[in-house]
């Protein structure tokens, strides 16, 4: 088996002192509240009513833990992601897989046999929040993404497919022919695989090869029991089934969104499950919202920003997708600027996914210090010259300001975006930004006079 997997990551967290083990009995209705309070990743080893099962949560709900997953320091995550994703490694197919040690098919399929948690106060039901969803299109090949599932019946879930995505596109193509879309959902994979799955890659990009690049070794896949799809062999649980050709007609949600908002009821397709496979003594992965999602989003957004800057021939020095933007809606970058490149950089970053707020600074600004950022905006920006506003760009439903309730079922919202060029304006001598410094500060020490 591969060296890198969900369980090896739990071991890595344990060795780093980042994993708490709860051995007292815990009810599924208590899991989320307990996991949210822990300052470490948590594994619940005694789930009431579910002998043999464990539940793991908050595995990457801090940037430090994501750094452990990436095998690098926190400040290097985006650059590491960018570098490794440029060296994809194709997946390999294996015949025997831990994820298929137990098989439930047909009438034996029973989602209630899995310890599904009730996560947030206003959720519309129990959720499977951390998924690695595989689908296939005859013309575009396989695709992987992350989609939440809301429990409906022992063999059905809702699935959030309102936002633009490759799987939504595949589903629409199947729906146009009146056909279901076969999909497989893996739960409990390494965070690197989740990062690859959440990457907004061009439609023909192989996310599985991207996962291999991030791992530095091929992702091992196994053929599903009932579908012509492959899933990560190392996964804890796999749900095999199809999206019914009913369009966006079934109620789904609310669910505690990664935007830190409770969300609202959405209209979505239904996922009907034909087969469940899992490991013996499986570990259910409860992705803790919002932080675990946000820290998985941030490096993907940051790497996409780096890529956009390089395509625009701008040299990035640092980049971050701020926590306040949930690692998704904003990008702050510093660049080594040549004339005009502040605007080029702003425009390039505004093109990234649903990023709607961008600030670009020179490389003398520490973009991780909000006070320095404010200083740059205060003294290097003229609003009528340095703010760029775009209208009618792609948006996500969960941003209340796009008023998605005004759309019909299945409708897609748009948004306006703002970018600020906080680099030193052309024609302003850099010496005017020379920082104040106390005379003798390098050699005169206060402790010598105390």
Partner 1 sequence: MSPLATKIKTSLESEAQQFHDVVDEHMDVPWQEFLRAWGELRAIDILQRDDEGAYFIEVS
Binds partner 1 (CB under 8 A): choice among 12, 18, 80, 156 = 156
Pairing mode, strands 220-223 and 92-93? parallel
116 in contact with partner 1 (CB under 8 A) = yes
Nearer to partner 1 among residue 50 and residue 199 (C-beta): 50
Select from 151, 133, 150 the least CA-distant residue to 142. Answer: 133
Instruction: Quote the least distance from Cβ 268 to partner 1, whole Å.
Output: 12
Query: Crossing angle for the helix pair 207-215 and 191-198, nearest 10 degrees?
Result: 140
Q: C-alpha angle with apex 354: 352 to 358, nearest 5 degrees? A: 65
241 in contact with partner 1 (CB under 8 A) = no
Residue 441 carries which DSSP code? T
Non-local (6+) Cβ contacts of 133 within 8 A are 144, 145, 146, 147, 167, 183, 184, 185, 186, 197
Please state, in angstroms and as integers, the Cα–Cα distance from residue 141 to each residue in 90, 203, 299, following that order: 14, 9, 25
Site string for partner 1, 193-232 (x = CB under 8 A): ----------------------------------------
Binds partner 1 (CB under 8 A): choice among 125, 191, 322, 327 = 125
111 in contact with partner 1 (CB under 8 A) = yes
Region for residue 392 given its phi and psi (left: phi exceeds 0; alpha: psi -120 to 50; beta: otherwise) = left
Instruction: Quote the least distance from Cβ 2 to partner 1, whole Å.
Output: 33
Instruction: Quote the least distance from Cβ 116 to partner 1, whole Å.
Output: 7
Establish how many alpha carbons lie within 13 A of residue 68's alpha carbon, considering only the half-sphere containing its beta carbon.
22
28 in contact with partner 1 (CB under 8 A) = yes
Site string for partner 1, 257-296 (x = CB under 8 A): -------xx-------------------------------
SS3 166: helix
Please check whether residue 346 is in contact with residue 358, taking contact to mean a CB–CB distance below 8 angstroms. yes
Nearer to partner 1 among residue 119 and residue 214 (C-beta): 119
Please check whether residue 323 is in contact with residue 294, taking contact to mean a CB–CB distance below 8 angstroms. yes
Q: Kindly compute the dihedral angle of the four CA atoms of residues 372, 375, 381, 383, in this order, to the nearest 10 degrees.
A: 110
Nearer to partner 1 among residue 28 and residue 353 (C-beta): 28
Binds partner 1 (CB under 8 A): choice among 153, 249, 382, 401 = 153
Select from 162, 314, 153 the least CA-distant residue to 247. Answer: 162
CA 115 to chain centroid, in Å, comes to 23
Q: Distance (Å, rounded) from C-alpha 337 to C-alpha 344?
A: 10
409 in contact with partner 1 (CB under 8 A) = no
Please check whether residue 150 is in contact with residue 266, taking contact to mean a CB–CB distance below 8 angstroms. no
Instruction: Quote the least distance from Cβ 251 to partner 1, whole Å.
Output: 5
302 in contact with partner 1 (CB under 8 A) = no
Non-local (6+) Cβ contacts of 138 within 8 A are none
Select from 198, 418, 207 the least CA-distant residue to 327. Answer: 198
Nearer to partner 1 among residue 273 and residue 359 (C-beta): 273
Subset of residues 31 to 70 that bind partner 1, contact rule: CB under 8 A: 48-50
Nearer to partner 1 among residue 152 and residue 215 (C-beta): 152
Stretch that binds partner 1, among 84-92, 124-132, 213-221, 335-343 (CB under 8 A): 124-132
Nearer to partner 1 among residue 135 and residue 157 (C-beta): 157
Q: Reduce the secondary structure of 91-132 to three states and give it as a string.
A: CEECCCCHHHCEEEEHHHCCHHHCCCCCCCCCCCCCEECCCE
Nearer to partner 1 among residue 91 and residue 269 (C-beta): 269
Stretch that binds partner 1, among 35-43, 148-156, 237-245, 410-418 (CB under 8 A): 148-156
Stretch that binds partner 1, among 88-96, 187-195, 247-255, 276-284 (CB under 8 A): 247-255
Q: How many CB atoms lie within 10 A of CB 191?
A: 24
Instruction: Quote the least distance from Cβ 320 to partner 1, whole Å.
Output: 34
Stretch that binds partner 1, among 118-126, 139-147, 305-313, 330-338 (CB under 8 A): 118-126
**For residue 90, what is the enclosing H or E element?**
none
Instruction: Quote the least distance from Cβ 128 to partner 1, whole Å.
Output: 13
29 in contact with partner 1 (CB under 8 A) = yes
Stretch that binds partner 1, among 110-118, 241-249, 310-318, 365-373 (CB under 8 A): 110-118
Residue ranges binding partner 1 (CB under 8 A): 27-29, 48-50, 111-113, 115-116, 118, 121-126, 151-154, 156, 251, 253-254, 264-265
């Amino acid at each position: 088996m591969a060296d890198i997997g969900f369980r090896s990551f739990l071991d890595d967290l344990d060795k780093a002192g980042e994993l708490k083990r709860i051995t007292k009995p815990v009810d599924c209705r208590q899991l989320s509240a307990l996991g949210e309070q822990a300052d470490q990743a948590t594994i619940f080893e005694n789930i009431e009513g579910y002998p043999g099962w464990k539940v793991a949560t908050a595995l990457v709900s801090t940037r430090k833990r994501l750094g452990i997953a990436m095998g690098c320091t926190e400040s290097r995550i985006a650059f590491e992601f960018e570098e490794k994703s440029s060296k994809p490694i194709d997946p390999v197919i294996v015949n025997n897989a831990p994820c298929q040690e137990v098989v439930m098919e047909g009438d034996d399929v029973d989602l209630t046999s899995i310890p599904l948690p009730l996560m947030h106060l206003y959720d519309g039901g129990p959720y499977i929040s951390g998924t690695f969803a595989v689908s296939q299109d005859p013309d575009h090949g396989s695709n992987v993404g992350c989609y939440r599932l809301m429990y409906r019946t022992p063999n059905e879930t809702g699935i959030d497919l309102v936002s633009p995505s490759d799987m939504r596109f595949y589903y629409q193509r199947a729906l146009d022919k009146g056909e279901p879309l076969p999909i497989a959902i893996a739960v409990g994979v390494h965070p690197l695989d989740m990062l690859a799955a959440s990457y907004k890659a061009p439609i023909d990009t192989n996310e599985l090869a991207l996962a291999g690049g991030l791992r530095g070794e091929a992702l091992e896949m196994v053929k599903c029991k009932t579908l012509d799809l492959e899933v990560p062999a190392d996964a804890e649980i796999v749900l095999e089934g199809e999206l019914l050709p009913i369009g966006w007609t079934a109620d789904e949600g609310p669910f505690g969104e990664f935007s830190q908002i409770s969300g609202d009821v959405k209209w979505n397709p239904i996922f009907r499950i034909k087969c469940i496979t899992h490991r013996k003594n499986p570990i259910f992965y409860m992705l803790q919202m919002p932080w675990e999602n946000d820290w998985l989003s941030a490096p993907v957004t940051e790497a996409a920003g780096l890529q956009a800057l390089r395509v625009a021939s701008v040299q990035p020095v640092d980049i971050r997708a701020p926590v306040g933007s949930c690692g998704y809606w904003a990008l702050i970058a510093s660049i080594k600027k040549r004339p005009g490149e502040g605007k080029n950089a702003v425009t390039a970053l505004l093109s990234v996914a649903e990023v709607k707020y961008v600030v670009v600074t020179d490389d003398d600004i520490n973009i991780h210090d909000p006070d320095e950022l404010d200083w740059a905006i205060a003294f290097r920006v003229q609003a009528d010259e340095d703010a760029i506003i775009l209208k009618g760009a792609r948006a996500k439903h969960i941003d209340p300001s796009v008023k998605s309730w005004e759309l019909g079922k299945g409708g897609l919202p748009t948004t306006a975006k703002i970018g600020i060029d906080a680099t030193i304006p052309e024609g302003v001598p850099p010496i005017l930004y020379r920082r104040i410094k106390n005379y003798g500060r390098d050699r005169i020490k206060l402790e010598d006079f105390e």
